[in-house]
């Protein structure tokens, strides 16, 4: 009996040894994988750089839903708030991939970034495919702007538009019944021609927003307004031209922007980079939500509402 007990203890010891070997084996495999194709997400600590992404058309609120990817100006500002309160964040890379968006949403983000800049947090803008109009507006609040050669940027200006369907309505005999409290209440109506007074009113609003745009860019870029105006006629340009026009500081990649942020914040090259990541559940259910909502990779651009005044590059 005693012998059998000893045998079972030996078996248990052997199992423990195999478990230890398996732990080491799996650990080594993880290390090997992390050096090649799979990046291990290990907890990071200490002073570092935060990354915040501004993607797509800028609007005040992002898509709604329990698993929707948080976005929109409100989310960006909330995230910047968290960054502001985190003493470990010494620099921020604002990754922009946006053609711009509504005036108010863009200005809110600009003001928030500017507030962080005044608190001596280093901000580096990294431009992706497009950082035009409102996208550029936001970038201009940063201390330093990095763009790729092929980045589409510029498009400094303000736009609003609406289709005039009067002749189409006439053709089909459609008439709109409009009861309004004031003569401008149906401004930008699609069912009639715009009056000269309405045009003048809207133009004034556009000009004011444009002047604010120029003023803010000049402030952010530390340039004279007069130096910006020649290229602020709505033209788009690639990164190289933007560099010539001093709208950006450097040509480079996202990685270069991270390195620049570390350099400006006097951080080590291996300082941690903090970025919000979706949980696997959010990714799975977010995709499902899009599928059930009929969004299968086609953006909301098809349903673009023209009744907005925007800092936006119209593609």
Partner 1 sequence: MIFETFKSLRWADYFLYALTDPRELYRRIKQKDPDPFALSFIVPFIAALFDILVISLMGSESAFFYYKISYGWILIFIYALFKIVVYSSLVDITAQFFGYKGNIREIITIVNFSLFPGFLFLPVFYLFSIINFAPGFFYAFFSIVFFIWYAMIFIQGISEMHSIDFGKSFVIFILPALFIGIVFFLIFILLIITGVGFITA
Catalytic residues: 133, 185
Nearer to partner 1, 64 or 85 (CB): 64
Task: State the Cα–Cα distance between residues 261 and 85, nearest whole angstrom.
Answer: 18
Task: State the Cα–Cα distance between residues 236 and 132, nearest whole angstrom.
Answer: 7
Nearer to partner 1, 17 or 266 (CB): 17
Task: State the Cα–Cα distance between residues 143 and 149, nearest whole angstrom.
Answer: 20
Interaction site with partner 1 (CB under 8 A): 2, 4-9, 11-12, 14-15, 18-19, 22-23, 25-26, 30, 38, 40-42, 65-67, 280, 285, 288-289, 292-293
Task: State the Cα–Cα distance between residues 215 and 87, nearest whole angstrom.
Answer: 31
**Of 64, 123, 133, 140, which Cα lies nearest the Cα of 103?**
133
CB neighbourhood size of 54 (10 A): 25
Burial of 254 (0-12, 13-18, 19+ CB in 10 A): middle
Minimum separation from the CB atom of position 15 to partner 1 (A): 5
Nearer to partner 1, 8 or 179 (CB): 8
Nearer to partner 1, 62 or 135 (CB): 62
CB neighbourhood size of 196 (10 A): 8
DSSP conformational letter for 48 = E
Q: How many helices (H) and strands (E) does the chain have?
A: 10, 10
CA 288 vs CA 72, 164, 281, 285, 301: distances in Å: 20, 38, 10, 5, 20
Tokens of 139: 């970038």
Nearer to partner 1, 6 or 215 (CB): 6
Minimum separation from the CB atom of position 243 to partner 1 (A): 41
């Amino acid at each position: 009996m005693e012998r059998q007990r000893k045998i079972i203890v030996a078996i248990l010891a052997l199992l423990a040894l195999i478990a230890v070997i398996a732990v080491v084996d799996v650990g080594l495999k993880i290390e090997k994988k992390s050096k090649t194709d799979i990046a291990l997400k290990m907890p990071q600590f200490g002073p570092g750089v935060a990354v915040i992404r501004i993607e797509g058309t800028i609007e005040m609120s992002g898509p709604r839903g329990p698993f929707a990817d948080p976005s929109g100006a409100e989310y960006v500002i909330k995230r910047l708030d968290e960054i502001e309160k985190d003493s470990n964040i010494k620099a921020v890379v604002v990754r922009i991939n946006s053609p711009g968006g509504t005036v108010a949403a863009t200005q809110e983000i600009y003001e928030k970034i500017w507030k962080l800049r005044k608190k001596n947090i280093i901000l580096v803008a990294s431009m992706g495919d497009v950082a035009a109009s409102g996208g550029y507006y936001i970038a201009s609040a940063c201390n330093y702007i990095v763009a790729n050669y092929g980045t589409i940027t510029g498009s400094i200006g303000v736009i609003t538009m609406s289709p005039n369907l009067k002749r189409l309505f006439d053709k089909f005999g459609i008439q709109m019944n409009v009861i309004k409290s004031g003569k401008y209440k149906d401004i930008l109506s699609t069912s009639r021609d715009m009056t000269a007074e309405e045009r003048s009113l809207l133009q004034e609003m556009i000009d004011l927003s444009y002047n604010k745009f120029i003023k803010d860019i000049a402030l952010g870029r530390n340039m004279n307004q007069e130096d910006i105006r020649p290229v602020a006629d709505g033209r788009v340009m690639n990164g190289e031209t933007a560099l010539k026009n001093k709208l950006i500081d450097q040509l480079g990649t996202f990685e270069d922007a991270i390195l620049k942020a570390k350099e400006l914040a006097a951080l080590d090259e291996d300082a941690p980079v903090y970025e919000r990541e979706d949980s696997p559940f959010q990714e799975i259910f977010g995709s499902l939500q899009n599928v059930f909502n009929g969004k299968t990779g086609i953006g909301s651009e098809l349903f673009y509402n023209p009744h907005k005044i925007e800092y936006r590059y119209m593609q």
